[in-house]
Amino acid sequence: MPKESSTHRPPVVLGIETSCDETGVALVDAERRVLAEALRDQLERHAPYGGVVPEIAARAHVEILDQLIERVMVEAGLGFADLAGIAATAGPGLIGGLLVGLTTGKAIAAAHRLPLLAINHLEGHALTARFVLGPGGGDGLAFPYLLLLVSGGHCQLLVVEGVGRYRRLGTTLDDALGEAFDKAAKMLRLGFPGGPAVERAARTGDPGRFALPRPMLGQPGCNFSFSGLKTALRQTIERQGPQALEPPTLDDLCASFQAAVAEVLLDRARHATELYQREYPGATALVVAGGVAANAHLRDSLATLADEQGLRLIVPPPALCTDNGVMIAWAGQERLALGLTDGFAAPARARWPLDPAAEPAPGAGIKA
Ligand code: KG4
Ligand code: ZN
């Protein structure tokens, strides 16, 4: 009689991510193995415009998505009939790109009679740490945990209470943090995306040379605001004239900007950790996700805070912090395990807050 274990194959989910400017596709099994993945960014197409152009992004997803899906299926040696479900980002994000990925996911699911998982992109980011560490027990990451999500489109502090259960503690009132880095870089002619360039220049700069404002510092709650800081930076650059674009002034401006950001982030995150510790007896971890989590200076500040508060600081590896298909496939696995599948009427949603009870933030960015 054949042994059962020799035929046992954990269920595999195909994940599709097209909410912004990355086309991401991955096959992930329920035991957290990535069987194959493909990721294509569109930086070259958007760079001349200094930001993501929605129509260009949607067209680029159309051009590449089918090829990437075919490639991962071939690489994993699987046919669609071998899959347990199709997970596609349904929002929030740029609507054209979302429609490309979600419609493709629906078509595959319908043709092969597979369950569809219409994934909230933010849930993908939120559950990535459980993909990295395991979903509980031992060193795994159990609910509830605190999440700081900081990227080009998102800037939120959330308690992840469970799959599909989120409590938003704070969000940005204007720009996302990555967006603030990108705008600072644009003013300083450092190119796009700006975060890495600002961090690099800041390394040799004097963070005390320019006294930039710290918006929201010391105020109650966990909301963010970066527009005042951006305006102050613009005025400072204008005052410095052409020197602002050359070291050492350029480096000092970047270091001063980054120091202001770090101080604000720390203040907001401190409020959130205090609330989390107070209201969740099982409080264990502060998770940081999103592209800005790559910033070593900000990570060091958050590590000190976590240490002070007796929390584990968890930062997934950079490739999983930025947008990718693995996080969508994994969120699909988590939802599939709970039977949280979606009908084919599931809409693409430009806005889709994780915590529907939270007040919408006035003037929040596209993905907030
Ligand atoms: O998560 P992500 O790849 O895409 C979005 O969903 O937005 O994040 C990209 C953002 C960009 O705004 C980029 O400037 C920022 O993350 N970023 C950084 C760093 N690396 C990337 N910001 C600050 N410091 C960095 N080292
Ligand atoms: Zn994202």
CA of 123 to the centre of ligand 2 (A): 10
Question: Is the CB–ligand 1 distance for residue 128 below 6 Å?
Answer: no
Question: Is the CB–ligand 1 distance for residue 24 below 6 Å?
Answer: no
pLDDT, averaged in runs of 10, over the chain (368 residues)? 60 97 96 97 81 88 96 98 98 96 98 98 96 89 96 92 97 95 95 91 98 94 96 98 97 98 97 97 93 93 96 94 95 98 98 87 49
Cβ neighbors of 360 (< 8 A, separation 6 or more) are 353
CA of 169 to the centre of ligand 1 (A): 22
Q: Which two tokens stand for residue 230?
A: 């951006």
Q: Give the residue, out of 19, 147, 181, with the most ligand 1 atoms within 8 A of its beta carbon, to mutate for a pocket test.
A: 181
Question: Is the CB–ligand 1 distance for residue 273 below 6 Å?
Answer: no
Q: Which two tokens stand for residue 165?
A: 């259960």
Question: pLDDT digit string (tens) for 89-98?
Answer: 999 999 999 9
Return the amino acid letter for 296: A
Q: Which two tokens stand for residue 310?
A: 């007796």
Question: Is the CB–ligand 1 distance for residue 292 below 6 Å?
Answer: yes
Looking from the CA of residue 121, the nearest atom of ligand 1 is 6
State the burial class of residue 287 (Cβ atoms within 10 Å of its Cβ: 0-12, 13-18, 19+): buried
**Res 7: pLDDT:** 64
Element (H, E) at 34: strand 34-41
CA of 159 to the centre of ligand 2 (A): 17
Indicate which residue's Cα is closest to atom 16 of ligand 1: 291
Question: Is the CB–ligand 1 distance for residue 195 below 6 Å?
Answer: yes
**Res 51: pLDDT:** 76
CA of 151 to the centre of ligand 1 (A): 5
CA proximity to 199, closest of 288, 261, 269? 261
**Res 3: pLDDT:** 45
Question: pLDDT digit string (tens) for 282-341?
Answer: 899 999 998 899 999 999 999 999 999 999 999 999 899 889 999 999 999 999 999 999
Report the alpha-carbon distance of residue 157 to residue 126 in Å, rounded: 11
Q: Which two tokens stand for residue 197?
A: 């360039």
**Res 364: pLDDT:** 47
Please, what is the Cα angle at 103 between 171 and 16, to 5 degrees?
60
CA of 230 to the centre of ligand 2 (A): 22
Indicate which residue's Cα is closest to atom 22 of ligand 1: 195
